[in-house]
Structure 1
């Protein structure tokens, strides 16, 4: 690890975002291991939210996949590390509601929670596996959302 990565590790411990990430992983039944770049991998995460291949809280990168998922995706690891820096610069957990606001704004503009989310853009959309979608009229976004909701299977 570099000196700056050590600063991020300590900062995200002090601002409690990494502690929150560990708690989310424990609640989700994840298995923990040390990753590179000062990250902790929490694999085999069992909760269905959020819907993503991986997501970061502090320096903890959570995923429903096995450890090999990160070993085989160095670009994704860099993307998730950028999110860990966002927690550092935003002093921890304020990142969560701010990210949520960014996701809502992105959805309103594109019908996609990542495409215009400034946090995903700063972490490099492509590295995170996202596609940049164009801004579209809100009516189209609304119709796409209704279509997706109607196509979901109904619960018991």
Structure 2
């Protein structure tokens, strides 16, 4: 494991985001296993919230899908979210993410398209659409 992944892993344990992710995995009866880059994969998550193919809390990537789903672009996207938890000192990211999702809903009607955290994690790799803003500046003719 690279040093940056080890550092992210330690920071996310200390800031309590990874322990929260593990509690969510247990509550959702997911099977947890070690994954790449210091991440923990939680497959078979049974709670129907949030509505997403996968979501990350600390270094724990949760999905309702079976083992083998977390690969390629989606895994890179979720890994970036784990890094965001480290940079946002853990749990404050949850509040900031909700605010960013509300902002995105107001701007374009979709919680991810204008969400700064989803954009920084790469919308395309997360499988999110790019919606235009609901309004545009008017030009004088």
TM-score normalised by L of structure 2? 0.94
Q: CA RMSD in A?
A: 0.6
Shift of 1:74: 1.1
Say how many residue pairs are matched.
135
State the Cα distance separating 1:117 from its structure 2 match. Answer: 0.2
The equivalent residue for 2:131 is 133
Map 1:89-100; keep pairs closer than 5 Å: 89-100=87-98
State the distance in 2 between where 1:101 and 1:21 align.
20
Name 1:146's counterpart in structure 2.
Answer: none
Residue 53 of structure 1: aligned partner = 53
Whole-angstrom CA distance in 2 between matches of 1:37 and 1:80: 11
Deviation at 1:131, TM superposition (A): 1.1
Where does the alignment leave 5 or more consecutive residues of structure 1 unmatched? 138-156
**Structure 1 partner of 2:27:** 27
Runs of 4+ off more than 2 Å: none
How far apart are 1:133 and its partner, in Å?
Answer: 0.5
- The structural deviation recorded for 1:87 is 0.2
Match of 1:102 in 2: 100
Unpaired runs of 5+ residues, structure 2, are 136-141
Alpha-carbon distance in structure 2 between the residues aligned to 1:12 and 1:98 = 16
The Cα of 1:59 is off from its aligned counterpart by 0.1
SS of 2:18's equivalent? helix
